Structure 1
Amino acid sequence: MGLIETAMGLVFGSGRNVVAETAEVFRVNAEAEAQRGHGARGEALEQFAAEFARAQGSGFDRMMDGVNRLPRPAMALGTLGLFGAAMVDPVWFAERMAGIALVPEPLWWLLAAIVSFYFGARHQAKGQDFQREMAVVLSRLPQIRALLDGSEETPAPDAVDTGDNTALAEWRATQG
């Protein structure tokens, strides 16, 4: 019994698990990896919650957001409706299209300008919002890396490489 007890003491003794410690050299500790993954998922959920909280505004803001979302679906559904009308009653459809053919060219140019400006402005606003959100995410990158690496400490702002940003270097010098 003493030999088996000594052998087991070598492998599992003194509060250590030599087999588990050796296996962790070749394979990631599943429990630690799950804890890191849980933290990363929690951070992602917090980010999503912040995005949806930002979307909540006054009743007028929500109404205007709804109105701003109408033109694209209305144009898509209207186009599909035109195809349906052409198939159901071709004579009725031809009469309506003959009326559209009588619209003067300057009015078509005005319509094109309005639609272009609407979608162009919306595209620009969405692009700027996306760039702003990416800047926020990139500013959190050191904390996210630290979280994924499993270390509890977050790097200091000085640890982030800023390249040759002289304004930032001067600001850091004034901060001590």
Structure 2
Amino acid sequence: MGMIGSILSFVFGDGRNVLRETAEVFRENAEAGAERGVHIQTAAMESFSNEFRQTQRGRFDRVMDGINRLPRPMMALGCLGLFVSAMANPVWFAERMVGISLVPQPLWWLLGVVVSFYFGARHQAKGQEFHRSIAQTMQNIPVVVENIKEIRGLEAEYQDKNAAIEDWRRKQG
């Protein structure tokens, strides 16, 4: 028994498992890997959430947001107004279009650049707001998963005790 005990203590002794430790050199421990993955994902989500956290905004920021929302509707309504004015008073409309035709080409390019930058910046701000909402939604996933598990548990319990369903199942087969 001394020799068997020596062999076993060599392989499994001192509170260590030499076989497991040797195997982990060649193959990752799945449980430890999953735990590391959870920690990495949690850290990434917290970092993402902190990056896009909404702060309290002052009156000035709210007013500027309101002003920033005006150009697109004003341009759309202005274009529709031009169509209406062309039908209602063609001479007045023709006079305005002749005036626009006198605007030099470089000024049209400048207008195009200004409008492009405005809408590009607006697109970027909306994209960041979208990412912020995704981060907030992702934080709710564990709660949703637990709620689904509870609902499925209740569903299984309800189906087991429903006499009408049991009667229908017996009739079906």
Q: Which category of TM-score, normalised to the shorter sequence, fits these structures?
A: 0.5 to 0.7
Distance 1:80 1:55 in 2: 38
Larger-Rg structure:
2
> Residue 105 of structure 2 aligns with which residue?
105
AA aligned opposite 2:113: A
Could you tell me the percent identity over the aligned residues? Answer: 61
Change (3 A) 1:56 1:73: farther
Alignment-mate amino acid for residue 97 of structure 1: M
Structure 1 unaligned blocks of 5 or more: 1-53, 152-176
Count of aligned positions: 98
Structure 2 residue identity aligned to 1:112: G
Greater length-normalized contact order (CA 8 Å, ≥ 6 residues apart): 2
Question: Runs of 4 or more off by more than 4 Å in structure 1?
Answer: none
- In structure 2, the partner of 1:121 is 121
Query: How big is the alpha-carbon RMSD for the aligned residues of Structure 1 and Structure 2?
Result: 1.8
**Could you say what secondary structure the match of 2:99 adopts?**
helix
How many Å separate the matches in 1 of 2:55 and 2:82? 35
Indicate the residue corresponding to 1:174 in structure 2. Answer: none
- Does residue 130 of the first structure (1) align with residue 130 of the second (2)? yes
Distance 2:77 2:105 in 1: 25
Distance 2:79 2:117 in 1: 20
The 3 A distance-change label for structure 1 pair 55 and 93 is: farther
Query: Shift of residue 98 of structure 1?
Result: 0.6
TM-score, structure 1 normalization: 0.52
> TM-score when scaled to structure 2?
0.53
What do the CA deviations read for 1:6-32 (whole angstroms, capped 9, x no partner)? xxxxxxxxxxxxxxxxxxxxxxxxxxx
